Chains A and B, each alone.
Chain A
Amino acid sequence: MAYSEKIINHYENPRNVGNFGTGEQVKKDLAIGVGLVGAPECGDVMQLQIKVDRSTGRIEDAKFKCFGCGSAIASSSLATEWLKGRTLDEGAAIRNTEIVQELNLPPVKIHCSVLAEDAIKAAISDYKKKNGIPVEDAHAAPTH
């Protein structure tokens, strides 16, 4: 598949790979929100973790891991870059179409950007739930 240079760049040098501890550790840490979306049998699973400054409500750091194709890896890598420094609301406003545009994703790979948007929403809503902040967003867990 002919991929854009931006996709190849993210695939070859993925940004912010990792996590903020083991599954148990991040579950207990109130500053961390985790989004795990996708399924192995569909061929892609994204794990996105955000670390929030609880006093300001800003995302100070983000990490990802991704099992998936080059576009899925690039989409989640880009998501971590965009999340850093944003408020929760600004983060939740990221749309998959922006990811498609930025990476020039081919049409058959649009679902990767949708998955990245889902991962962002899931991580933010996980953080909110942990901290007793109402999750008002009705399409926090969109189905498609």
Chain B
Amino acid sequence: MSPKLPIYLDHAATTPCDPRVVEAMLPYFTEKFGNPGSRNHSFGWEAEAGVDAARVQAARLIGANEKEIVFTSGATESNNLAIKGAAYMYERAPAGSGRSRGHIITNAIEHKAVLDPCKRLQREGFEVTFLPPGADGVITAEAVRAALREDTILVSIMWANNEIGTISEIPQIGALCHEKGVILHSDGTQWVGKMPTNVARDNVDLLSWSGHKIYGPKGIGALYVRRHKPRVRLNALADGGGQERGFRPGTLNVTGIVGLGKACEIAAAEMDRDAERLLRLRRKLEHAITSRLEVTKVNGHAEKRLPHISNISFGFVEGESLMMAIKEIACSSGSACTSASLEPSYVLKTLGVGDELAHSSLRLSLGRWTTEAQVEYAIENIVAAVEKLRRLSPLYDMHKEGIDLSKVEWAHH
């Protein structure tokens, strides 16, 4: 039976809200609408009870204590608060002193929500090392060790990459940071709620995640801030009513928080089953596409990769025309080269995806309600689209005739 179209295979961008999440949220819009900051009536108390329960649910998902959870508007805000908040708190020299304010290590293929705060700190007098990952996209503990300096104050490495799903060596990096007395922040947007997480075991001091990537609502996220060994302090970025222990003032987004909490509770209970099922579907997808189409490559590490994200490059076809040919499949595209029509992916560029594969890649990300029939439809559709475009492609003809495309003198324009 053919599935209902279009098919959503972009769960790394966002996920639908789980109906159980929506149900948990609804009373907080209308009946339990109070401000948790209202300490002297029952409306405030029941809203506060909802927030407290959600804080426990969020903490349990990552093996933390509820006092270590700060609710934010999403992972971008969590990342900003963690990185800038820690940098300003632990700076080695004041701004304007002319001396380096401290050294920060991050990963060249972080999301912009980490790269851009780091670049801002760089402009403000901090020194930042953007570690290039290996061709498989993994940041190893060894790479971090080699970059550590006496004045390093913060390391920020994403747990898993959003474009290729590759997983870095977070527990080992954390152990190293603790040994050297450096704080480790991790952007867990793609990781938390999908893979087992325990901040104590995994040696993470600051951890960001978002509601809408784990079947919760948009506009809500969390930051874990370690309270013991070490106790991490942050400079708040906003001033106000002192909510969230002053880390993040402002009236709490109660409905969002309740939704995030419920999403965390469901994720904790179901992630193993989801991951196993999605890994099987992802393998089926990758095996079918790479065995039926030549000059096709799955990007990122073969094994150290999230079960639900697949990033595949296709030689001799151009990205936009490929997207047009699979218009019933909602997914993301990127290319490792500058294309007139698509933004090149700095992630694929950094990994050095080969020239002949540089023109088009698809990120297909599966989710809780992705079916076998949907994956089978995607396989057939993608294979047919690439074959069609290769029949049109002069580059594919040249490849077939054994011409080395890098040796051709192209008329650049």
Contact = CB atoms under 8 A, between A and B. Distances in A.
Given A11-B324, A67-B318, A69-B321, A38 B413 contact: yes
B226 interface: no
Nearest to A17: B392
Interface stretch (A39-47, A51-59, A90-98, A126-134): A39-47
Interface string B394-408: 111110010101000
A40 B405 contact: yes
Contact of B413 (A11, A47, A109, A143): A143
A14 interface: yes
B409 to A, nearest CB: 9
A70 B401 CA distance: 25
A39 B412 contact: yes
B395 A45 contact: yes
Contacts of A144: 413
Interface stretch (B77-85, B201-209, B338-346): B338-346
Q: Which of B355, B391, B397, B403 has the most CB of A within 10 A?
A: B397
Nearest to A3: B324
A70 B321 contact: yes
Contacts of A39: 410-413
A36 B225 CA distance: 59
Nearest to A7: B324
A7 B85 CA distance: 51
Range of interface residues on B (Cβ < 8 Å): 20 to 34
Range of interface residues on A (Cβ < 8 Å): 35 or more
Q: Which of B338, B342, B398, B401 has the most CB of A within 10 A?
A: B398
Given A19-B397, A23-B403, A69-B320, A45 B392 contact: no
Contacts of A108: 340-341
Given A39-B410, A40-B355, A67 B403 contact: no
Interface of A: 1, 11, 14, 17, 19, 22-23, 36-47, 65-70, 72-73, 108-109, 111-112, 114-115, 118, 141, 143-144
27 contacts: A1-B341, A17-B391, A37-B413, A39-B410, A39-B412, A40-B405, A41-B410, A42-B413, A43-B337, A43-B342, A43-B359, A44-B318, A45-B395, A46-B394, A47-B394, A47-B397, A65-B397, A66-B393, A68-B318, A68-B321, A68-B340, A69-B339, A70-B320, A72-B318, A108-B340, A109-B341, A111-B413
Interface of B: 316-321, 324, 335, 337-342, 355, 358-359, 391-398, 401, 403, 405, 410-413
